[in-house]
């Protein structure tokens, strides 16, 4: 089975928008980012807001934490499949190749769970992560990125 993922034509605008985020990211900044990407607000708390991204697969969600220096943006860039681990593996590899085509070779990687990251001029990073049943793209704040690299 092939797992639906973000189309290549939609990956570049997403990556470009995430790379342009200025830290710290407050609630107004989170909403502005979501509006620029055409996302609809689904739910929110004082610290985090969940958006529907409109990507063409089940659970097209993004979460933006906007509470403190450890803020982040997480976007589901694949459908979820708890039953088909090889399909999630293949989706991760395909998205890692697409990210490398946009940003060059990853600045870091781990294999269990699979993750690739690219450092950004802001001090943050773009992290492609293979979670158990889904692939996500995480924009990490400079503090969060530094904590991982420590």
Amino acid 124: pLDDT: 93
What whole-number distance in Å separates Cα of residue 67 and Cα of residue 46? 7
CB atoms inside a 10 Å sphere around CB 5: 22
Position 149 pLDDT exceeds 70: no
Mean per-residue pLDDT for 14-20? 95
Amino acid 40: pLDDT: 96
38: left (phi over 0), alpha (psi -120 to 50) or beta: left
Amino acid 70: pLDDT: 79
Amino acid 67: pLDDT: 82
Map out the domains of the chain as residue ranges: 8-149
User: Poorest-confidence range of 55-59, 65-69, 88-92?
Assistant: 65-69
What whole-number distance in Å separates Cα of residue 22 and Cα of residue 73? 12
pTM of the model: 0.92
Amino acid 83: pLDDT: 87
Position 150 pLDDT exceeds 70: no
């Amino acid at each position: 089975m092939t797992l639906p993922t973000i189309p290549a034509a939609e990956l570049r605008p997403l990556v470009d928008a995430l790379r342009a985020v200025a830290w710290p990211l407050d609630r107004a900044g989170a909403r502005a980012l979501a509006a620029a990407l055409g996302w609809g607000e689904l739910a929110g708390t004082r610290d985090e807001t969940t958006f529907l991204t409109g990507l063409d697969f089940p659970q097209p969600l993004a979460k933006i934490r906007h509470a403190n220096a450890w803020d982040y943006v997480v976007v589901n860039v694949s459908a979820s499949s708890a039953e088909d681990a090889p399909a999630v593996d293949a989706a991760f590899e395909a998205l890692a190749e697409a990210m490398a085509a946009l940003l060059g070779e990853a600045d870091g990687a781990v294999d269990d769970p699979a993750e690739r990251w690219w450092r950004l001029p802001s001090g943050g990073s773009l992290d492609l992560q293979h979670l158990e049943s889904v692939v996500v793209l995480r924009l990490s704040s400079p503090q969060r990125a530094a904590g991982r690299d420590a």
